[in-house]
A and B are shown apart, each in its own frame.
Chain A
Amino acid sequence: MTGQTSAIMAVRDPDVRLMLRVRDRGDEAAFAELVARFQHRLVGILNHIVGNKDEAEDLAQEVFLRVFRTRAKYTPKAKFSTWLFTIANNLALNALRDRQRKKHLPLELRDSGSLVYWPHVPLAAHRDAPPTQNLQQQELADVVRRAMDDLNERQRVAVVLNKFEDMGYAEIAEVMGLTAKAVKSLLCRAREKLREALQAYIYMDGDPPAAPAEE
């Protein structure tokens, strides 16, 4: 898509229009509307990335503040959400790096790409355990969380955007400042890693474990 086409398309996006009202008129109602519209998605995504709800909220708030502060520089290129998640991506990665610096994680953990301090039990140990049938939902959530934390930060962001925002490779590439090709291999490695970590928790020929209840 050419720059012109995407800018033209962008103006069809109601969120872009709201943002333009914020940019051009400092429109408070429009900004409030954007916060209302995106708070759920943003907090949800950031929580999946940083693995901590309070921190996710703080970051989401920072994202909105950043949106407001840099409103004058806003140029609609694609969907508004792409821009929003670009800011979120930068802030989340910074936060994770800060955390890493503060925690002084042992070298082997840093090497594994994990940025969250977590009592490190190798997941492979579970492989011989019986499959997940009896595993409580909470335990399963913990296991999945841990597998996510074992991805490196970029892999995790890409996976979260792909899975929970349903973003295609091109859009993820835009958010993360990568090429679509780089996203493709990033996601491939991430998925492969998740497969290794979670292999023991899936059924291959029976029914999968009961889906979690909504909310």
Chain B
Amino acid sequence: MPTPTEPELPDDDLVAYLDGELDAADAHAIESKLAADDEARQKAERLQKTFDLLDYLPKSEPSPNFASRTLTQIYPAAEAAPPTSSSALPAPVVTTSGQALPPQPASAAGWKIVAWAVALLLTTGGGYFFHLLARPHLEKLVPAKRASEEVRLLERLPLLLGADDFDFVKQLEHADFFAEADPDDIGGRAITEIWTSTELEQMEDLFKQFPLSRQQQLRRLDEELSAQEPDRQLHLMAVLERYAIWLDRLPDNYRKEVLTAPAAVERLDVIRVVKSRLWREGLPLVVRDRIQQAEGPARETLVAERKQQDAKRKLLWDVARQDWASIRTDRRPWPFENEVLTRQVEEYVTKVLRPRLTNAERADLEQVRKEVDNNPDWFKWFLYGNFITRLSDLHPMYPEAATGKVVKTANDLPKAFLNQMAKNGGSARRQLNNHPASGKWPDFAEAVWKEANELKVPIPSSVNLGPNKSAEYVPAVREYVENELPKRLAKAERDDLKKLEAGTWPDHSRKVIELARKYDLTVPGVSLPGEPSKWDQVYRNRGGRR
């Protein structure tokens, strides 16, 4: 019986505690209570165990034709065949109708950029945005008839506003600029597809203010961006987005400086200067003074050291901020909280990744792994996961050959081919023998393939760089390519893949990997075990989670 000084546990909190829904203080209160009270503890255990019994409920899978039945109901003409391509669809482009979307609450998700762009329009006396003052030249766009390219351009406009052309965007990708996500960044909208029709009209009004030449420049930039591979496009949009957010947060005078630079080259210089100015302004006064007083190389060293410290702190802070819940309970980060997956990952590291590492990388890997063993806390596992992700990115794997000798060293290459390579300015046999990838497949094969392509030396058919059709892959991959993957693919994709079998390595393998990534699948023995999107989410793209 509960005594007056020890009131009965409020059950709401007990259940919430079991569900991990209490904040630290409340959880602590429950824990103390549980530690002191047998009855309460038993109750908690009962609650948990009866909840676990729900695992006995029969699990049901949709019938095999569920998806096709559903799709047939929606697209009767398409029958059960998988959709071919999105462009074949007659469905309306909703955002172009101007009315199809419900009105939104006063642009909660709107960009402030529009506001400053408009403000600049009114205040800037010259330079980059001077042309905003000019009379509109754009032919009247009838909203109901907007082509989807127009919509795309308008939707992206806020991200493109501060950019000159495609080359400029490529420069922004550099580490000095916006290559890395700022960990303090809450993440933005790289794909600006969520405009309401009112917002689109605002964008259109803005766009119309530009002189024809700037309109054309923006159109060209948008087209060039759209011509990139989807992944690349996404990446560049993310870079642009970081740039736009950065601009948006700049003090007005700094932003004006950036935007009024006469052309791309100068603009990049201004960005660099503003960035380092901001960085310095953000330093503690003591550090700033010390840097100010130092001279020459000493000053550079101080700056470099400080930057390194910052980067490290940012990573830790970023990790801590995003994964606080699991760190606090000292669970392991994905995928290591799952025993089966951990085993698979460890096997992948030992059998697939490790043999292809350089000695230095291997030593580092061992060190990082040892630290996990010494002190298996959340951070150590995270660092390990992070490290193997980086290593696997540095050493991309391709599906292995079931039989047959593949090229691993210079000795596997015909002399005539090597001579031709050397003649065209490539590496001679001796150099190739000392190549860091020598003896390793596919690293060596890929190096040869790249060099031969660069030097325009045809690869003789006798040279087997690697398997290029499903029949030649090791059984697990073959099974995957023939049975697993096609289920997820559109017909066009299946056809493309089939066609590549007639080509040469590594085209088919690359396509297999690309498609697997697209559909978030794991190619056995090739990709890190577990969904690629999870590796991205946990280890690659920090900064944009939840």
Knowing A39-B67, A191-B47, A198-B53, say if A20 contacts B191 (CB, 8 Å): yes
Instruction: Contact check, A76 vs B60: say whether CB atoms are below 8 A apart.
Output: no
Inside 8 A of A197's CB, which chain B residues have their CB?
A: 50
A-B contact number at CB 8 A:
206
Instruction: Contact check, A47 vs B60: say whether CB atoms are below 8 A apart.
Output: yes
Alpha-carbon distance A43/B63, docked complex (angstroms): 9
Nearest residue (CB) in B for A76 is B194
Q: Mask for A37-52, Cβ within 8 A of B = 1, else 0?
A: 0011011100110000
Task: Determine how close the nearest CB of chain A comes to the CB of B389; give it in whole angstroms.
Answer: 18
Instruction: Contact check, A141 vs B86: say whether CB atoms are below 8 A apart.
Output: no
Q: Is B83 on the interface with A (CB-CB < 8 A)?
A: yes
Interface centre among A164, A188, A201, A211 (most CB of B within 10 A): A188
Instruction: Contact check, B70 vs A61: say whether CB atoms are below 8 A apart.
Output: yes
Instruction: Contact check, B54 vs A144: say whether CB atoms are below 8 A apart.
Output: yes
Q: Is B57 on the interface with A (CB-CB < 8 A)?
A: yes
Q: Is A204 on the interface with B (CB-CB < 8 A)?
A: yes
Instruction: Contact check, B12 vs A140: say whether CB atoms are below 8 A apart.
Output: no
Alpha-carbon distance A169/B170, docked complex (angstroms): 43
Task: Determine how close the nearest CB of chain A comes to the CB of B255; give it in whole angstroms.
Answer: 20
Instruction: Contact check, A64 vs B94: say whether CB atoms are below 8 A apart.
Output: no
Inside 8 A of B488's CB, which chain A residues have their CB?
A: 36
Interface size on B, residues (CB 8 A): 74
Q: Which of A32, A53, A187 contacts B67 (CB 8 A)?
A: A32
Alpha-carbon distance A7/B196, docked complex (angstroms): 13
Alpha-carbon distance A44/B370, docked complex (angstroms): 41
Instruction: Contact check, B59 vs A215: say whether CB atoms are below 8 A apart.
Output: yes
Q: Mask for A12-40, Cβ within 8 A of B = 1, else 0?
A: 10100100110111111111110110011
Knowing A29-B85, A61-B69, say if A72 contacts B50 (CB, 8 Å): no
Q: Mask for A132-161, Cβ within 8 A of B = 1, else 0?
A: 000001001100110010000000000100
Instruction: Contact check, B54 vs A188: say whether CB atoms are below 8 A apart.
Output: no
Instruction: Contact check, A191 vs B51: say whether CB atoms are below 8 A apart.
Output: yes
Interface SS of chain A: helix, strand, loop or mixed? helix
Task: Determine how close the nearest CB of chain B comes to the CB of A185; give it in whole angstroms.
Answer: 5
Instruction: Contact check, A39 vs B66: say whether CB atoms are below 8 A apart.
Output: yes
Nearest residue (CB) in B for A196 is B50
Instruction: Contact check, B546 vs A28: say whether CB atoms are below 8 A apart.
Output: no
Q: Which of B59, B71, B148, B190 contacts A11 (CB 8 A)?
A: B190
Inside 8 A of B85's CB, which chain A residues have their CB?
A: 29
Task: Determine how close the nearest CB of chain A comes to the CB of B390; give it in whole angstroms.
Answer: 22
Instruction: Contact check, B92 vs A17: say whether CB atoms are below 8 A apart.
Output: no
Inside 8 A of A215's CB, which chain B residues have their CB?
A: 59
Q: Mask for B9-25, Cβ within 8 A of A = 1, else 0?
A: 00110111011010000
* A 178-212 contacts with B by CB, 8 A: 184-185, 187-188, 191-192, 194-195, 197-199, 201-204, 208, 211-212
Nearest residue (CB) in A for B54 is A163
Interface centre among B50, B85, B490, B520 (most CB of A within 10 A): B50
Q: Is B2 on the interface with A (CB-CB < 8 A)?
A: no
Q: Is A56 on the interface with B (CB-CB < 8 A)?
A: yes
Alpha-carbon distance A72/B21, docked complex (angstroms): 35
Q: Is B496 on the interface with A (CB-CB < 8 A)?
A: no
Task: Determine how close the nearest CB of chain A comes to the CB of B424; give it in whole angstroms.
Answer: 43
Inside 8 A of A177's CB, which chain B residues have their CB?
A: none
Q: What interface size band does chain A fall in?
A: 35 or more
Q: Is A91 on the interface with B (CB-CB < 8 A)?
A: no
Q: Which of A43, A44, A188 contacts B15 (CB 8 A)?
A: A188
Q: Is A73 on the interface with B (CB-CB < 8 A)?
A: yes
Q: Which of B11, B21, B83, B519 contacts A28 (CB 8 A)?
A: B83
Inside 8 A of A184's CB, which chain B residues have their CB?
A: 12, 15-16, 21
Inside 8 A of A35's CB, which chain B residues have their CB?
A: 67, 70-71
Q: Is B263 on the interface with A (CB-CB < 8 A)?
A: no
Alpha-carbon distance A75/B103, docked complex (angstroms): 11
Q: Is B229 on the interface with A (CB-CB < 8 A)?
A: no
Inside 8 A of B545's CB, which chain A residues have their CB?
A: 12
Nearest residue (CB) in A for B107 is A4
Knowing A75-B104, A187-B19, A199-B46, say if A27 contacts B193 (CB, 8 Å): no
Alpha-carbon distance A23/B14, docked complex (angstroms): 42
Q: Which of B62, B91, B151 contacts A60 (CB 8 A)?
A: B62
Knowing A43-B60, A43-B61, A195-B46, say if A26 contacts B70 (CB, 8 Å): no
Alpha-carbon distance A48/B59, docked complex (angstroms): 8
Instruction: Contact check, B191 vs A68: say whether CB atoms are below 8 A apart.
Output: no
Knowing A24-B93, A192-B11, say if A145 contacts B57 (CB, 8 Å): yes
Q: Mask for B157-189, Cβ within 8 A of A = 1, else 0?
A: 000000000000000000000000000001111
Inside 8 A of A42's CB, which chain B residues have their CB?
A: 62
Q: Is A165 on the interface with B (CB-CB < 8 A)?
A: no
Q: Is B392 on the interface with A (CB-CB < 8 A)?
A: no
Alpha-carbon distance A166/B524, docked complex (angstroms): 28
Inside 8 A of A204's CB, which chain B residues have their CB?
A: 42, 45-46, 49
Nearest residue (CB) in B for A10 is B194
Instruction: Contact check, A44 vs B61: say whether CB atoms are below 8 A apart.
Output: yes
Inside 8 A of B14's CB, which chain A residues have their CB?
A: 188
Alpha-carbon distance A189/B70, docked complex (angstroms): 37
Inside 8 A of A137's CB, which chain B residues have their CB?
A: 56
Q: Is B29 on the interface with A (CB-CB < 8 A)?
A: no
Q: Which of B49, B67, B86, B88 contacts A21 (CB 8 A)?
A: B86
Alpha-carbon distance A181/B15, docked complex (angstroms): 12
Query: Which 7 A-B pairs have CB atoms at the shortest separation, nearest pair first?
Result: A26-B91, A28-B83, A27-B86, A202-B49, A198-B50, A7-B109, A43-B62
Q: Which residues of A contact B (CB under 8 A)?
A: 2-5, 7-9, 11-12, 14, 17, 20-21, 23-33, 35-36, 39-40, 42-44, 47-48, 53, 56-57, 60-61, 64-65, 68, 71-73, 75-76, 137, 140-141, 144-145, 148, 159, 162-164, 168-169, 184-185, 187-188, 191-192, 194-195, 197-199, 201-204, 208, 211-212, 215
Can you show 22 pairs from A to B with CB atoms below 8 A apart?
A7-B194, A8-B109, A9-B186, A24-B95, A26-B92, A26-B94, A29-B490, A39-B66, A40-B62, A60-B62, A61-B66, A61-B69, A145-B57, A163-B54, A188-B12, A188-B14, A191-B50, A192-B15, A194-B50, A195-B50, A201-B50, A215-B59
